[in-house]
Structure 1
């Protein structure tokens, strides 16, 4: 595994004003994540997990501190420039799927590359292949409302990988799914991480999912409580 960091977080602080009070959601967070690894972020509700993920992905700006993504400091960039970095290097999987309801499964997966200006025919073939990889080759032309929750999440995963991201951020990717379907989605995420060499960073309340990662960062009250590294790949990857 390449030891170079794909993500560097330095002294990251995020504060919000609530009436007369200033709330500190993240308090001087620092860590780095090596390229190609898997890392989970866990902690109780309100510990700052989703806020941290959004800052790492350049979706929001911190009150203080710096995020460097793929050797690119995000702080000096404009919103458009950060959006370009995300489109080139980042994939997202959300708990609520975030599919466009007026588009088919195939069209939803095509969106990131179409925004980049890639020719439609080429994008369509890549999208077809990814949907086949996640087991949806028979559902290409179904709209989101015609798909189950598990199928929608598989479409979201295919969309996240269409631009061959260097890093994938997943926020509670199995939170809205039943246990069996969630297990299928977990395997997909780790398999695609292995096949593509994509760094996987996920926020989860599910400790069994977190433990499948090579590393787990525990947050509490907006600070890193502990940082655990197993150094071992997911067991079913070893046995495959």
Structure 2
């Protein structure tokens, strides 16, 4: 894998047993993604988008094929070793936010670095900086139940960026938000991507969100139907 490549999927096939039948969710998927780029994975429900995202992040193993993440082959690794790779290189943003309800916004953002064994006082400073950057300096001690959906997603984005990931995976990051809040979150994701030089790979049904990416991979029936590169369209251009 070239040094400028952050992610490589080679002949990825994923099958599941459903009763007496074998269901093929992904069939011979091949692509590489360059460091620092933005890539959308789109397709109808059931096309395998979220399954593919999970495999790329090392959350599951493909039935066949190989994934390389930051030049690390995930196939031979144990679950603990894959978790270590994720902790070092990967950030996640989910549709359902995935915040710990018993932790404050500040504590939620601190979790990834505390898992690395870093000192609480050092982690706290970085978390406060990130929460301030996403506009939540006055929400540090609020629990998820005290935050709006958009605020919870901002906390999730701050948490995703605190370990300075080389690649950020986002699964329908605006799926549970209204249009105005979703647009704010989209801008935040792309701004932080550009500032930090992080590769952004997102799954979405929203074609206007996909158009803001430099590349779009279209899935259909578990296969790549189309793989296209384009000049990103900014949200303000879409709205005009």
* Contact 2:183-2:235 within 8 A present in 1 as well: no
Secondary structure of 2:30's aligned partner: strand
Counterparts of 2:44 and 2:88 in 1: how far apart (Å)?
Answer: 32
Q: 1:171 matched to which residue of 2? A: 171
Which residue number in structure 1 is paired with residue 187 of structure 2?
187
| Matched residue SS, 1:45 | coil
For residues 189-213 of structure 1, the C-alpha deviation after alignment (integer angstroms, 9 at most, x for no partner) is 0000000000000000000000100
The alignment's TM-score, normalised by the length of structure 1, stands at 0.96
CA distance in 2, matches of 1:132, 1:39: 27
Shift of 1:4: 1.2
Q: TM-score by structure 2 length?
A: 0.96
Q: d(CA) in 2 for partners of 1:82 and 1:106?
A: 26
The SS at the match of 1:47 is: coil
Q: CA RMSD in A?
A: 1.4
CA distance in 1, matches of 2:183, 2:34: 25
Deviations 1:115-152 (A, max 9, x none): 00011111000000000000000000000000000000
The CA distance in 2 between the partners of 1:104 and 1:119, in whole Å, is 18
The CA deviation at 1:233 is 4.1
Aligned to 1:129: 129
Which secondary structure does the structure 1 equivalent of 2:226 belong to? strand
Match of 2:57 in 1: 57
Distance in 2 between residues matched to 1:84 and 1:114, nearest whole Å: 13
Output the CA distance in 1 between the equivalents of 2:116 and 2:222: 35
CA offsets, 1:212-238, max 9 Å, x none? 0000000000000000101x2443699
Counterpart Cα distance in 2 of 1:71 and 1:58: 13
Structure 1 ranges of 4+ moved more than 2 A: 232-238
Aligned to 2:70: 70
CA distance in 2, matches of 1:183, 1:18: 38
CA–CA separation in structure 1 for the residues paired with 2:32 and 2:220:
18
2: distance between equivalents of 1:161 and 1:10? 27
Unmatched tracts of structure 1, length 5 or more: none
Is the partner of 2:155 in helix, strand or coil? helix
In 2 relative to 1, CA 236–49 (structure 1 residues): closer, same or farther, beyond 3 Å?
Answer: closer
Matches within 5 A, 1:133-152: 133-152=133-152
Matched residue SS, 1:142: coil
CA distance in 1, matches of 2:235, 2:126: 27
- Tell me, what secondary structure is at the counterpart of 1:224? strand
> Which residue does 2:106 correspond to in 1?
106
Q: Where in structure 2 are there 5+ consecutive unaligned residues? A: none
Deviation of 1:55 (Å): 0.1
SS at match of 2:11: strand
